Structure 1
Amino acid sequence: MTAVAHAGFTLVRDYPAAIADLWAAFAVEERKRDWFGGGYEWTPSEWRFDFRVGGLDIDEARFHNGVLSRYEARYTDIVEHERIVTSYDMWIDGAHISTSVASFEFERLDGGSRLTHTEQGVHLDGLDDGAGREYGSRLLLDALGRTLATKA
């Protein structure tokens, strides 16, 4: 018997960066790759970036412990400097582990910007769970913050 678990979370981060810089970190391939597609813990094997409604992003990489991770996201809604909505699937070593809907909302603040990331996930067969996905998303938003700080 297969198992399905549902989970959701919302993460809010304030960054001392202009909203145009925060937006560019998602909308410009080189800027997104700085925080989303790189890292010392893995070796990239496939990357695709198509930032438009209907466009497909792929980030596949092998972690140094040998695990192969694959992310495929389809952009379903984009409103410049306001929001991005995606649906995405994750695989580990070829096994489909989850399908999620994620939104990223952008808000101007005095002296910076706020990003609100909300996600609803369907986690499959005990291979993934909401707590792990939230943890991974927190790490990505930390990496985004470090990237924005170096671009300032």
Structure 2
Amino acid sequence: MTERSVTHSTFVLERTYNATPARVFAAWSTAEALLRWGSPGEGWQVGFDRFDFRVGGGNICRFGPAGGDVYVNDARYQDIVPGRRIVTADTMTCGDKRLFAGLATVEFHPAGAGCRLVFTEQGAFLDGHDLPENHKAGWTEMLGNLDVELRRASAAA
């Protein structure tokens, strides 16, 4: 039998983007936008089985390194305030192993002509199958990708 354990973790990442809160919020609100910036690592593949951006809706995202393990994140939207915040309850699995259960909050604050984004993840990492530092590294990468996406979209406009 597998040793059972839970590691609790909370981390907060803050970024300031040269885009309005409405534009940054919009980058989280469609599968197409998320697919452009939502890869947690170079060479990783990301796809959605379902995307329903509304309170009570959710998304199922499959992701992982090309040719490697496939992770499934099942997110349920608990709260959405357009241009202000998104709150999701998430679980992550790999095969038949539940790795993680948690809550993610994304806040969008005006910052001059731009947006200060505050991302908070509160997680329970289960049975040693995943680590808080993996999530923090993945979200750090994705929030950097979001900056590139917002700059690309501005240049194209």
- Under a length normalisation based on structure 1, what TM-score does the superposition of the two structures give? 0.91
Q: Which residue of 1 aligns with 2:9?
A: 7
68, 73, 76: which one aligns with 2:75: 73
Query: Any stretches of 5+ residues in structure 1 without a counterpart?
Result: none
52, 76, 81: which one aligns with 2:54: 52
Deviation at 1:15, TM superposition (A): 0.3
| Structure-2 change in CA distance of 1:97 and 1:8 (3 Å) | same
Q: Which residue of 1 aligns with 2:103?
A: 101
Bigger shift: residues 39-48 or 16-25: 39-48
1-structure distance, mates of 2:52, 2:40: 17
Aligned residues: 152
CA contact (8 A) 1:19 1:112 kept: yes
Deviation at 1:52, TM superposition (A): 0.3
CA RMSD of aligned residues (A): 1.8
141, 146, 150: which one aligns with 1:139: 141
1-structure distance, mates of 2:87, 2:16: 19
Q: Which residue of 2 aligns with 1:26?
A: 28
Amino-acid identity (%): 35
Deviation at 1:61, TM superposition (A): 2.9
2-structure distance, mates of 1:30, 1:49: 10
1:111 partner amino acid: A
| Structure-2 change in CA distance of 1:150 and 1:38 (3 Å) | farther
Deviation at 1:43, TM superposition (A): 3.6
- Under a length normalisation based on structure 2, what TM-score does the superposition of the two structures give? 0.89
CA contact (8 A) 2:104 2:122 kept: yes
Query: Any stretches of 5+ residues in structure 2 without a counterpart?
Result: none
